[in-house]
């Protein structure tokens, strides 16, 4: 049976001299599940013959072994390098707008009338960045309390 890589859109096959090594899925259920999740294949259940090639592991996932003929994958290594189509790739992080104290003070002074001694709320919506796993986008509200004399701005999250 020819060893082929189980990763999406990877057509690497085991051939002598090509410098690519193939790794079976770990037997440890927890680590095995991490590998399965990393491949992002729907309803994927690896068998004892299922392999991933070395192209899907970073260089630091291997142990340095002088005088060895092939690299040894670390026992806790997880594949991280894949060529996913756009609908499976994690979205790029969104830029986060940060309100400087001056901007908040300026906005407060615009909304403050000279005779008004009450507190006014200034709300500005800020979008936080999504993490590399592609979890859903979250929004945060920043509130600034303004008084007639803007001496201190309190930020609440």
Instruction: Round to whole Å and give the CA distance between 61 and 55.
Output: 11
Query: Taking residues 113-117, what's their average pLDDT?
Result: 49
List, in sequence order, every beta strand (DSSP E) within 43-119: 51-53, 62-63, 72-73
Q: Look at 5-19, 36-50, 99-113, 121-135 and tell me which has the smallest mean pLDDT.
A: 121-135
pLDDT in tens, 127-157: 444 445 444 444 444 444 444 444 444 444 4
pTM score above 0.95: no
């Amino acid at each position: 049976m020819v060893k082929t890589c189980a990763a999406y859109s990877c057509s690497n096959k085991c051939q002598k001299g090509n410098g690519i090594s193939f790794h079976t899925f770990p037997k440890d259920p927890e680590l095995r599940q991490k590998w399965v999740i990393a491949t992002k294949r729907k309803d994927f259940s690896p068998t004892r013959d299922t392999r991933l090639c070395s192209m899907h592991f970073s260089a630091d996932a291997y142990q340095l072994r002088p005088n060895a003929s092939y690299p040894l994958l670390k026992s806790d290594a997880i594949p991280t390098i894949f060529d996913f189509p756009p609908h499976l790739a994690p979205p790029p992080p969104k830029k986060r707008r940060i309100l400087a104290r001056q901007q908040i003070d300026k906005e407060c002074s615009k909304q403050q009338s000279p005779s008004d001694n009450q507190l006014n709320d200034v709300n500005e919506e800020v979008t936080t960045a999504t993490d590399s796993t592609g979890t859903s986008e979250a929004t945060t509200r920043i509130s600034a309390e303004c008084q007639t004399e803007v001496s201190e701005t309190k930020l609440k999250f």
